[in-house]
Amino acid sequence: MATTTNNPPPARCLDVTRLASRAGRALTGVDRVERAYLVRLLQEDTPLYGLARVVAGYVLLDRAGLAGLLSRVDGDTPWGPADLRARLSRSLSPAQRQADADLRRLAIRRSTRPGLERMLRAALPAGTAYLNTGHSNLTDRVLRAVRSVPGGRIAVLIHDTIPLDLPEMQREGTVARFRAMFDRVLRQADLIICNSEQTRRDVMRHGGAAAGGPDVVVAHLGVEPPRPDAGAVPADLPTGGAYFIAVGTIEPRKNHALLLDLWAEMGPAAPPLLICGARGWRNEDVFARLDSLPPDGPVRELSDLTDGAISALVTGARALLQPSIAEGFGLPPVEAAALGTPVVCVDLHVYREILGDIPVYLPVTDRLSWRKTINNLTEADGRTTGTGMRNGYVPPRWEEHFNVVLKMT
């Protein structure tokens, strides 16, 4: 079992499968967590390796290879050309083919799928700590291979248990896959890292409290809002006066339907609402409503903005509106608060845990209160909510997160 210690392991191995798979796409919140781990572990003196799944097998990277991967993820180094093996894969996008090929070029070792145990036993020092923060690659094959390294330890960051809590709102097959992955983690991990006390309670409720299971620790994620980039904001957006913003994947639990209902009630004179996020799943009614919006109406759907553009829009908004009915952490409201933007959200335990009295908390079913709050914010002189927004909110820091995690991994 994992125990608190100030002695680092002989080596660490970070799974970077998810981060590499995002080539050509903007990073999600989960991706940014994996990147934060990569950045921090590259700063540590402890020997560092990276494991990634590629076409037809796996690769192992050393510190130099991981630094090269980070440079490509950050756009400082261009991805190289796709090799023959990557080009033959029909499941990868063109950018993912380039990343797949670069992983092989950056690797110190490669293996077929059946050869993974042999590769890890030959390359990793005894006692290596394997960290997985992206929920990718958590297969029996990978976990058994890590266990085959003498003294190998496994730490997994769980972001939420929402697929188990709201199965009716998930993609087909997601719930069974998540349950299987979660059960593997419960059986084989030494440590589960939870991003919030809310997630810890959920993990325990879904089996984490069983005797003989992994240790469970809470470490709030560090929050570093992307630098606002006003130059990346489309010039035709109605941001000259009071406007509101919603950020996040357009999926059922994010409850965009509530915002569309409110703006429909307010009519053409409503303030602009910018809905920023990619379309998700099982939300056909909302997608149809978005498709039917008039191009010159107050509601705009924006799916392809850069992080810097979204950060600039959040900074200028009268408030971030977050009617989500479930979160494991809730990154957009925390980033908005860190930028000094008022937050209006549903009264979830995790928001109380991370944000305290900063937001305006409203019942998800009380549309009248939501509309009244939006009207008050629209008419207010400046961005104030009466809930302490201007008291200098300081979000959780990565230093605090790693002070907890690196003592146990």
The percentage of residues in the chain with a pLDDT greater than 70, rounded to a whole number, is: 96
**Of residues 4, 29, 393, 380, the one with CA closest to residue 190:** 4
Residue 386 has pLDDT above 50, yes or no: no
Residues 228-285 have pLDDT tens digits of 999 999 999 999 999 999 999 999 999 999 999 999 999 999 999 999 999 999 999 9
Task: Report whether pLDDT(2) > 60.
Answer: no
CA distance 332 to 322: 8
* Per-residue pLDDT at 211: 84
Q: Which domains does the chain have, with CATH numbers?
A: 12-224+398-405 (3.40.50.2000), 230-379 (3.40.50.2000)
Write the burial class of residue 5 (CB in 10 Å: 0-12 exposed, 13-18 middle, 19+ buried): exposed
Average pLDDT over residues 179-208: 98
- The rounded mean pLDDT for the chain is 95
**pLDDT confidence of 99, banded at 50, 70, 90?**
very high
**Which residues lie below 8 Å from residue 355, measured CB to CB, with a gap of 6+?**
333, 334, 337, 343, 393
HEC-encoded secondary structure of the chain: CCCCCCCCCCCEEEECHHHHHCCCCCCCHHHHHHHHHHHHHHHCCCCEEEEEEECCEEEEECHHHHHHHHHHHCCCCCCCCCCHHHHCCCCCCHHHHHHHHHHHHHCCEEEECCCHHHHHHHHCCCCCEEEECCCCCCCHHHHHHHHHCCCCEEEEEECCCHHHHCHHHCCCCHHHHHHHHHHHHHHHCCEEEECCHHHHHHHHHHHHCCCCCCEEEECCCCCCCCCCCHHHCCCCCCCCCCCEEEECCECHHHCHHHHHHHHHHHHHHCCCEEEECCECCCCHHHHHHHHCCCCCCCEEEECCCCHHHHHHHHHHCCEEEECCCCCCCCHHHHHHHHCCCCEEEECCHHHHHHHCCCCEEECCCCHHHHHHHHHHHHHCCCCCCCCCCCCCCCCCCHHHHHHHHCCCC
Return the structure tokens found at 200. 């810890």
